[in-house]
Amino acid sequence: MSAPRAKRWQRLAGNRNLQVGLTMLAVLLLAGAFGPWLVRWDPIEIDFAAALQRPGAAHPFGTDELGRDVLARVLAATFVDLKVVAVCVVLPFFIGSLIGLASGYYGGWFDRALMRLVDVLLAFPHYVLVIAIVGSLGPGIANLYLAFALVVWISFARIVRAEVLVARRAEYAQAARLLGYGHARVMLRHILPNVITPAIIFMMSDVVLTILAVTSLGFLGLGIQPPTPEWGLMIAEGRTFLQDAWWISVFPGLAIVYVGITFTVLGEGLDDFLRPKG
Amino acid sequence: MNAAAGSSQLEVEDLRVRFTTPALDLTAVDGVSFRIEAGEVFGLVGESGCGKTVTCRALIRLFGGSPPSAIGGTVRFAGRDLATLDERAWSALRGSEISMIFQDPMTSLNPTMRVGTQIAEGLQRHRGLTAREARAAAIEMLAAVGVPAAERRHLDYPHAFSGGMRQRVLIAIALACRPKLLIADEPTTALDVTVQDQILKLILKLRNDIGMSVLLVTHDIGVIAQTCDGVAVMYAGKIVESGATAQVVNRPAHPYTRALLAALPAHTRRGDPLRPIDGEPPNLAEPPPGCRFHPRCTFAIAACREIVPAPIEVEAGHRSACLRAGEIG
């Protein structure tokens, strides 16, 4: 009866999405971690003699207009982009979940005030707001993080709050109060583990939106600054050569698509894994 | 079985609980008084919606999502007036001196915590036990409530337990700190009949082991007859009859109590139809004038419509709030 670990493996074995997603994520992380050492080219070093070479034996993904190896740059950009995306997702996840938890738990004027604020923020498309904030504060990583934290928390807050509204009425939450536990303890220890799953699953789809947003900001010149290799920036740099040298933009584009698919599949898999149906 | 002399474990006097919203104004508990001695099992019985649960909630001052607008009267626990306690003192009292178990064991356990952890948590919080001591005590408690293989099952999550076993776990959580008073709000209603009996016997056994008092709330007067020392019958927010269980069950002095007893299947002959109480409990926002039971009462006379009956002692310790109590008993 009590073999929770074995049961967990069993459920993983039947979950194709989770297997594929985890494998794709592992490939992504391995490529980001070890790829740059396996390619002999430096991602930043300029070599005009080798500019705009087609993909071939020496440069599998070709070279860009400054003679830099596109494969080396795509690989080097992996962790740059993933790190930015991770912060841009995790920061709002924490802030939003805690606000949603407190808002749903305490209710009253606190909840009403917060939810009106959320309604106002929700009236703007997320990424228009992000771009507006970064644009007015000036480009740069710190401002990017700040912009995402300020805007995206509302999604997590709404998701968690809705779950808390149900959970706090559940008898186990009231029972915890009856056993003499304080509000903080009831919220964090008894309610939070029961309401966080939808937020975790949403976080996966948020990764997909965020990778697009971060690379778009890079494309617009509002995110990571050159010469640091970054997928959005690479696409932007390659767009003037698109007719003659498609590979400069296409390979970083494919990398973005790969990340998007990875987290979409992973999110589906996690949904089945964390919320078993029936 | 009233062991302790002097002050009772719990004294409730003229308890009133009123809920006000823009749409309605109702008094769910209207002047309820009773006392529970140390070690006594006291039953509170009545139909759904008569104010039993609100009474329990008022005793421990926790109402979940919808707090009342006013609570009146006094509640004394071991001689202390509970109205004077602040939030901190309440936290120290709840789960430690006064514990409660709920009706539905399927939803009262936290699905994301191991049952052993849930039992141990209170011991760590209230008794200052270390994690290791608390775990050992939790396993002991789990065994004491009759969960087999407790040293293994304390690691399981609630979904791995049946309804009856979950109610046992809930009892273990409620009693881990050896409270002086257990409030059991319909503890067996959601369970199979055979399991009901086991759970009631378990509560009675633990009452003896721990020496606590029990307030047993139920709509089943048959359960009261089997388990309680004293009983109060509630109707529409008021206590209509109270006394020792033998007095109330054998010589009911209020028409409502008589109707409840008559409605029991055991009091109906085989083949005869069951005898439900006609009508419905009144809307507490607009209770009927006079005796609140008169619209459904077969003994009602003209005076019942005007006079609110005061409790009359029909025999020693046995009171009935009925104008015709003397004639009925």
Please check the confidence at residue B5 and state whether its pLDDT lies above 80: no
A175 touches chain B (CB under 8 A): yes
What average pLDDT does range B313-326 have in this prediction? 88
Q: Residue B100 and residue A178: Cβ atoms within 8 Å?
A: yes
B96 touches chain A (CB under 8 A): yes
Q: Residue A174 and residue B156: Cβ atoms within 8 Å?
A: no
Quick one: pLDDT band at residue A79, thresholds 50, 70, 90? very high
Please check the confidence at residue A90 and state whether its pLDDT lies above 90: yes
* Chain A / chain B CB contacts < 8 angstroms: 74
Task: Say if residue A125 is preceded by a cis peptide, omega within 30 of 0.
Answer: no
pLDDT digits (tens, 9 = 90+) for A125-178: 888 888 889 889 988 889 999 999 999 999 999 999 999 998 888 888 888 888
Going by their DSSP bridges, the two strands B25-36 and B10-20 should be labelled as: antiparallel
Site from B110, B175, B177 to mutate, A interface, most A CB atoms within 10 angstroms: B110
pLDDT digits (tens, 9 = 90+) for B122-154: 899 888 899 999 999 999 989 888 888 989 999
Please check the confidence at residue B219 and state whether its pLDDT lies above 70: yes
CB neighbour class for B286 (10 Å; exposed up to 12, middle 13-18, buried from 19): exposed
Q: Residue B160 and residue A193: Cβ atoms within 8 Å?
A: no
Torsion of CA B194, B197, B203, B207, to 10 degrees: -150
Where do the H-state alpha helices sit in B128-281? 131-144, 150-153, 163-175, 193-210, 221-227, 245-250, 255-263
Nearest to B9 by CA among B261, B296, B280, B207: B207
At A82 the three-state DSSP class reads helix
Please check the confidence at residue B2 and state whether its pLDDT lies above 80: no
Give me the pLDDT at residue B3, please: 41
Chain A residue numbers with beta carbons less than 8 Å from the beta carbon of B125 are 179-181
Sorted by sequence, the CB contacts under 8 Å of residue A1 that are 6+ apart come out as B152, B153, B156, B160
What average pLDDT does range B96-111 have in this prediction? 86
Give me the pLDDT at residue B242, please: 93
Q: How many CB atoms lie within 10 A of CB B210?
A: 17
Q: Residue A180 and residue B173: Cβ atoms within 8 Å?
A: no
Please check the confidence at residue A269 and state whether its pLDDT lies above 70: yes
For B156, the closest of A1, A171, A177 (CB atoms) is A1
What's chain A's Rg over C-alpha atoms? Answer: 22
Interatomic CA distance for residues B325 and B13, integer angstroms:
23
For B64, the closest of A1, A169, A181 (CB atoms) is A169
Exposure b/e, B231-268, CB count within 10 A at least 16 = b: bbbbbbbbbbbbbbbebbbeebbbbbbbbbbebeeeee
Interatomic CA distance for residues B81 and B77, integer angstroms:
7
pLDDT digits (tens, 9 = 90+) for B32-91: 999 999 989 999 998 888 888 889 989 988 887 678 888 988 999 988 898 888 888 888
In DSSP terms, B71 is beta-bridged to B17
Please check the confidence at residue B329 and state whether its pLDDT lies above 60: no
Q: Residue A194 and residue B95: Cβ atoms within 8 Å?
A: no
What average pLDDT does range A31-38 have in this prediction? 86
What average pLDDT does range B274-300 have in this prediction? 85
A3 touches chain B (CB under 8 A): no
Site from A2, A163, A164, A186 to mutate, B interface, most B CB atoms within 10 angstroms: A2
Give me the pLDDT at residue A128, please: 85
To the nearest whole Å, the CA of A129 is away from the closest chain B CA by 36
CB neighbour class for A192 (10 Å; exposed up to 12, middle 13-18, buried from 19): buried
Q: Residue A178 and residue B60: Cβ atoms within 8 Å?
A: yes
Which range (A57-71, A157-171, B172-186, B249-263) has the least confidence?
Answer: A57-71
Asked whether A217 and A209 are in contact (CB, 8 A), the reply is: no
Instruction: Note the residue count of chain B.
Output: 329
At B56 the three-state DSSP class reads helix
At A177 the three-state DSSP class reads helix
B265 touches chain A (CB under 8 A): no
Asked whether B138 and B116 are in contact (CB, 8 A), the reply is: yes
What average pLDDT does range A202-217 have in this prediction? 89
Interatomic CA distance for residues A158 and B284, integer angstroms:
37
Nearest to A153 by CA among A180, A117, A108: A117
pTM value surpassing 0.80: no
Nearest to B184 by CA among B162, B206, B163: B206
In DSSP terms, B232 is beta-bridged to B44, B242
Going by their DSSP bridges, the two strands B213-218 and B41-45 should be labelled as: parallel
Interatomic CA distance for residues B309 and B325, integer angstroms:
10
pLDDT digits (tens, 9 = 90+) for A108-134: 899 999 999 999 988 888 888 888 898
Interatomic CA distance for residues A10 and A28, integer angstroms:
25
What average pLDDT does range A195-214 have in this prediction? 90
Nearest to B181 by CA among B10, B32, B53: B10
Amino acid identity for residue B101 in this structure: I
For B153, the closest of A2, A178, A190 (CB atoms) is A2
B134 touches chain A (CB under 8 A): no
Asked whether B284 and B27 are in contact (CB, 8 A), the reply is: yes
Q: ipTM value, please give it.
A: 0.74
Give me the pLDDT at residue A3, please: 55
List of E strands, chain B: 10-20, 25-36, 41-45, 70-77, 80-81, 98-101, 181-185, 213-218, 230-235, 238-244, 312-315, 318-320
pLDDT digits (tens, 9 = 90+) for A211-254: 888 888 888 888 888 888 899 889 988 888 888 888 999 999 99
What average pLDDT does range A30-55 have in this prediction? 84
Q: Residue A174 and residue B94: Cβ atoms within 8 Å?
A: no
Site from A5, A8, A174, A179 to mutate, B interface, most B CB atoms within 10 angstroms: A179
What's chain B's Rg over C-alpha atoms? Answer: 21
Q: Tokens 């409730």 identify what position?
A: B12
Q: What is the 3-state secondary structure (H, E, C) of A24-73?
A: HHHHHHHHHHHHHHHCCCCCCCCCHHHCCCCCCCCCCCCECCCCCEHHHH
DSSP secondary structure letters along B207-243: HHHHT-EEEEEES-HHHHHHH-SEEEEEETTEEEEEE
